[in-house]
Amino acid sequence: MDKPEKPTPLSVDGTELAEETISSEQLYTGSIVGLRRDTVRLSNGRAATREIVEHVEAAAAVPLLPDGRVVLVEQWRHAVGQALLEIPAGLVEAGEQPAAAMQRELSEEIKYTASRLELLFSIYLAPGYSQELIHIFLAEELQPASARSDDDEILRIRAVPLAEAVAACVRGEITDAKTLAGLLAVAALRKLD
Protein backbone atom coordinates (compact mmCIF):
# COMPACT_ATOMS: atom_id res chain seq x y z
CA MET A 1 0.00 0.00 0.00
CA ASP A 2 1.34 3.42 -0.95
CA LYS A 3 1.98 5.88 1.80
CA PRO A 4 -0.33 8.91 1.45
CA GLU A 5 1.32 12.16 0.51
CA LYS A 6 1.93 14.59 3.31
CA PRO A 7 -0.91 17.14 3.25
CA THR A 8 0.02 20.66 2.25
CA PRO A 9 -1.37 23.76 3.91
CA LEU A 10 -4.57 25.04 2.41
CA SER A 11 -4.20 28.39 0.75
CA VAL A 12 -6.64 30.67 -0.98
CA ASP A 13 -5.92 32.90 -3.94
CA GLY A 14 -9.24 34.44 -4.85
CA THR A 15 -7.83 37.17 -7.06
CA GLU A 16 -10.18 36.20 -9.90
CA LEU A 17 -13.15 36.37 -7.48
CA ALA A 18 -12.42 39.90 -6.19
CA GLU A 19 -15.26 42.38 -6.10
CA GLU A 20 -14.60 46.03 -6.96
CA THR A 21 -16.36 48.65 -4.84
CA ILE A 22 -18.27 51.08 -7.07
CA SER A 23 -19.87 53.13 -4.28
CA SER A 24 -20.24 53.06 -0.51
CA GLU A 25 -22.85 54.68 1.76
CA GLN A 26 -22.47 54.90 5.56
CA LEU A 27 -25.89 54.11 7.05
CA TYR A 28 -25.08 54.07 10.77
CA THR A 29 -22.13 54.73 13.06
CA GLY A 30 -22.34 53.61 16.68
CA SER A 31 -19.87 53.17 19.52
CA ILE A 32 -19.18 49.50 18.66
CA VAL A 33 -20.67 48.85 15.23
CA GLY A 34 -21.31 50.68 12.01
CA LEU A 35 -23.39 49.76 9.00
CA ARG A 36 -22.62 50.60 5.39
CA ARG A 37 -24.05 49.62 2.03
CA ASP A 38 -21.60 48.99 -0.80
CA THR A 39 -22.36 48.55 -4.46
CA VAL A 40 -19.80 46.22 -6.00
CA ARG A 41 -18.92 44.90 -9.42
CA LEU A 42 -18.64 41.13 -9.42
CA SER A 43 -15.90 39.32 -11.32
CA ASN A 44 -18.46 38.49 -14.01
CA GLY A 45 -19.21 42.21 -14.54
CA ARG A 46 -22.61 42.29 -12.81
CA ALA A 47 -23.37 44.74 -10.01
CA ALA A 48 -24.50 43.66 -6.53
CA THR A 49 -25.24 45.24 -3.17
CA ARG A 50 -23.40 44.30 0.04
CA GLU A 51 -24.53 45.39 3.51
CA ILE A 52 -21.52 45.38 5.83
CA VAL A 53 -21.48 45.51 9.62
CA GLU A 54 -18.28 47.29 10.66
CA HIS A 55 -16.89 46.13 13.99
CA VAL A 56 -13.64 46.77 15.83
CA GLU A 57 -11.24 43.87 16.38
CA ALA A 58 -11.72 41.67 19.41
CA ALA A 59 -9.68 39.19 21.43
CA ALA A 60 -10.69 36.03 23.28
CA ALA A 61 -8.80 33.37 25.22
CA VAL A 62 -9.16 29.83 26.46
CA PRO A 63 -7.82 30.19 30.04
CA LEU A 64 -6.49 26.87 31.34
CA LEU A 65 -5.84 26.22 35.01
CA PRO A 66 -2.96 23.87 36.00
CA ASP A 67 -5.48 21.11 36.84
CA GLY A 68 -6.85 21.10 33.26
CA ARG A 69 -10.02 23.08 33.93
CA VAL A 70 -10.97 25.90 31.61
CA VAL A 71 -12.38 29.14 33.04
CA LEU A 72 -15.58 30.21 31.29
CA VAL A 73 -17.98 33.08 31.82
CA GLU A 74 -21.74 32.85 31.75
CA GLN A 75 -23.47 36.04 30.73
CA TRP A 76 -26.76 37.26 29.38
CA ARG A 77 -26.65 38.10 25.66
CA HIS A 78 -29.55 40.43 24.91
CA ALA A 79 -29.23 40.02 21.12
CA VAL A 80 -30.12 36.31 21.36
CA GLY A 81 -32.29 36.54 24.48
CA GLN A 82 -30.41 34.01 26.59
CA ALA A 83 -27.40 33.40 28.78
CA LEU A 84 -24.40 31.87 26.99
CA LEU A 85 -21.32 30.09 28.29
CA GLU A 86 -18.25 31.68 26.70
CA ILE A 87 -14.51 32.06 26.88
CA PRO A 88 -13.44 35.51 28.15
CA ALA A 89 -13.37 38.12 25.37
CA GLY A 90 -13.50 41.81 24.66
CA LEU A 91 -12.81 44.59 22.23
CA VAL A 92 -9.34 45.72 21.24
CA GLU A 93 -9.18 49.43 22.04
CA ALA A 94 -7.65 51.99 19.66
CA GLY A 95 -3.85 51.72 19.72
CA GLU A 96 -3.95 48.52 21.79
CA GLN A 97 -2.40 45.22 20.73
CA PRO A 98 -4.70 42.14 20.86
CA ALA A 99 -2.51 40.43 23.52
CA ALA A 100 -2.72 43.48 25.79
CA ALA A 101 -6.49 43.63 25.29
CA MET A 102 -6.72 39.97 26.21
CA GLN A 103 -4.72 40.41 29.41
CA ARG A 104 -7.02 43.32 30.36
CA GLU A 105 -10.13 41.24 29.65
CA LEU A 106 -8.82 38.24 31.59
CA SER A 107 -8.21 40.47 34.58
CA GLU A 108 -11.62 42.19 34.35
CA GLU A 109 -13.72 39.12 33.57
CA ILE A 110 -12.17 36.17 35.43
CA LYS A 111 -9.74 37.92 37.81
CA TYR A 112 -6.62 36.31 36.34
CA THR A 113 -3.77 37.33 34.05
CA ALA A 114 -1.72 34.87 32.05
CA SER A 115 2.05 34.49 32.33
CA ARG A 116 1.83 32.54 29.07
CA LEU A 117 -0.43 33.91 26.34
CA GLU A 118 -0.17 32.27 22.91
CA LEU A 119 -2.05 33.40 19.81
CA LEU A 120 -3.72 30.33 18.32
CA PHE A 121 -5.43 31.94 15.30
CA SER A 122 -7.57 34.85 14.16
CA ILE A 123 -11.02 34.32 12.65
CA TYR A 124 -13.77 36.29 10.97
CA LEU A 125 -16.99 35.62 12.86
CA ALA A 126 -19.49 36.27 10.06
CA PRO A 127 -17.67 37.24 6.84
CA GLY A 128 -20.87 37.19 4.78
CA TYR A 129 -21.92 40.51 6.32
CA SER A 130 -19.30 41.61 8.85
CA GLN A 131 -15.58 42.30 8.87
CA GLU A 132 -15.22 41.58 12.61
CA LEU A 133 -11.92 39.83 13.30
CA ILE A 134 -11.31 38.10 16.62
CA HIS A 135 -7.92 36.88 17.84
CA ILE A 136 -8.12 33.63 19.84
CA PHE A 137 -5.43 32.96 22.45
CA LEU A 138 -4.49 30.15 24.79
CA ALA A 139 -3.94 31.57 28.29
CA GLU A 140 -1.87 29.48 30.69
CA GLU A 141 0.08 29.93 33.92
CA LEU A 142 -2.75 32.05 35.31
CA GLN A 143 -2.02 34.45 38.15
CA PRO A 144 -4.68 36.11 40.34
CA ALA A 145 -5.54 39.69 39.35
CA SER A 146 -8.01 42.23 40.61
CA ALA A 147 -9.08 44.61 37.85
CA ARG A 148 -12.47 46.24 38.18
CA SER A 149 -15.21 44.61 36.08
CA ASP A 150 -17.01 46.58 33.39
CA ASP A 151 -20.13 48.35 34.70
CA ASP A 152 -22.27 46.98 31.85
CA GLU A 153 -21.43 43.29 32.41
CA ILE A 154 -22.72 40.83 34.97
CA LEU A 155 -20.79 37.58 34.71
CA ARG A 156 -20.83 34.23 36.46
CA ILE A 157 -17.41 32.53 36.41
CA ARG A 158 -17.31 28.76 35.92
CA ALA A 159 -14.25 26.50 35.89
CA VAL A 160 -14.92 23.15 34.23
CA PRO A 161 -12.70 20.34 32.94
CA LEU A 162 -11.68 20.95 29.31
CA ALA A 163 -13.14 17.57 28.30
CA GLU A 164 -16.50 18.54 29.85
CA ALA A 165 -16.50 21.87 27.98
CA VAL A 166 -15.71 20.10 24.69
CA ALA A 167 -18.49 17.59 25.32
CA ALA A 168 -20.88 20.52 25.90
CA CYS A 169 -19.81 21.89 22.49
CA VAL A 170 -20.55 18.56 20.81
CA ARG A 171 -23.95 18.32 22.54
CA GLY A 172 -24.87 21.80 21.29
CA GLU A 173 -24.94 23.31 24.77
CA ILE A 174 -22.19 25.83 23.95
CA THR A 175 -23.29 27.81 20.91
CA ASP A 176 -21.00 30.84 20.90
CA ALA A 177 -18.76 30.69 17.79
CA LYS A 178 -15.54 32.02 19.35
CA THR A 179 -15.93 29.66 22.29
CA LEU A 180 -16.53 26.64 20.06
CA ALA A 181 -13.51 27.48 17.91
CA GLY A 182 -11.23 28.12 20.89
CA LEU A 183 -12.22 25.09 22.95
CA LEU A 184 -12.10 22.66 20.03
CA ALA A 185 -8.73 24.01 18.89
CA VAL A 186 -7.19 23.65 22.36
CA ALA A 187 -8.64 20.15 22.70
CA ALA A 188 -7.15 19.19 19.32
CA LEU A 189 -3.77 20.66 20.27
CA ARG A 190 -3.76 18.78 23.59
CA LYS A 191 -4.53 15.54 21.76
CA LEU A 192 -1.66 16.15 19.34
CA ASP A 193 0.85 16.84 22.12
Residues 4-37 have pLDDT tens digits of: 566 667 777 788 899 999 999 999 999 999 999 9
User: How many angstroms separate the CA atoms of 179 and 191, rounded?
Assistant: 18
Structure pTM?
Answer: 0.89
In this structure, the answer to whether residues 97 and 186 fall within a common structural domain is: yes
In this structure, the answer to whether residues 76 and 146 fall within a common structural domain is: yes
User: How many domains are there within the chain?
Assistant: 2
Query: Residues with Cβ < 8 Å from 151, sequence gap 6 or more?
Result: none
The rounded Cα 46 to chain-centroid distance in angstroms is: 33
In this structure, the answer to whether residues 32 and 76 fall within a common structural domain is: no
Average pLDDT, the chain: 92
pLDDT of residue 23: 98
> Does residue 78 carry a pLDDT above 70?
yes
Q: What is the CATH number of the domain that holds 164?
A: 3.90.79.10
User: How many angstroms separate the CA atoms of 51 and 56, rounded?
Assistant: 17
10 belongs to a structural domain: no
Query: Residues with Cβ < 8 Å from 99, sequence gap 6 or more?
Result: 59, 117, 119, 137
Q: 30, 55, 80 — which closes off a domain?
A: 55
Mean pLDDT lowest among 62-76, 102-116, 136-150:
136-150
∠ Cα 23 24 30 (to 5°): 175
Residue-range definition of the domain harbouring residue 20: 15-55
Q: Given strand 47-55, what is the order of strands in its sheet?
A: 20-29, 33-41, 47-55
> Does residue 1 carry a pLDDT above 50?
no
